[in-house]
Amino acid sequence: MIENVTHDNQLLAIIVRHDYYKDGIEFFTPGDFSQQLAYMNHKKGYVIQPHVHNVVRREVLYTKEVLVVKRGRMRTDFYTDDREYVCSRELATGDVLLLAAGGHGFEMLADTEMYEIKQGPYAGDNDKTRFMPKMPN
């Protein structure tokens, strides 16, 4: 299952659930995203030809993170760029989340291990602005 989390026609996130299945290759992100997310399912014997990646100058303005939940459960809260709460989604073992725009916060609902993949180099405190959550009661 794939869920696009949107607000006012802006894609905030893409959630790929652990039970997603399809033959072949499926790209979930538009070609102009600075972070690309794809699923690949190939049969035994399929070959991906060896290759190198060419030097291509790119301009990255915003960090797009991908989280892979290795184990556990967590709630993700989504916000607009103006820090207004939009909605929440629960993620579990094996789920993948691409954070595309807006703000986000997390609460671990169980002991949780995850991987985070994002563009670099990391800019430290210049890379993000923290704010207090504004969730509905």
Domain count, the chain: 1
* pTM of the complete model: 0.90
Asked whether residue 54 is domain-assigned, the answer is no
Spatial contact of 116 and 66, defined as CB atoms under 8 Å apart: yes
**Is residue 45 helix, strand or coil?**
coil
Tell me the per-residue pLDDT of 69-105, one tens digit each, with 9 for 90 and over.
999 999 999 999 999 999 999 999 999 999 999 999 9
Asked whether residue 53 is domain-assigned, the answer is no
Asked whether residue 100 is domain-assigned, the answer is yes
Tell me the per-residue pLDDT of 46-67, one tens digit each, with 9 for 90 and over.
999 999 999 999 888 888 899 9
Asked whether residue 109 is domain-assigned, the answer is yes
Using CA atoms of 58, 131, 2, 38 in order, give the dihedral in degrees to the nearest 10: 20
Asked whether residue 35 is domain-assigned, the answer is no
Using CA atoms of 18, 22, 24, 30 in order, give the dihedral in degrees to the nearest 10: -70
Asked whether residue 68 is domain-assigned, the answer is yes
Kindly tell me the sign of the dihedral angle through the C-alpha atoms of 81, 99, 97, 104. Answer: negative
Q: Which domain holds residue 76?
A: 1-20+60-120
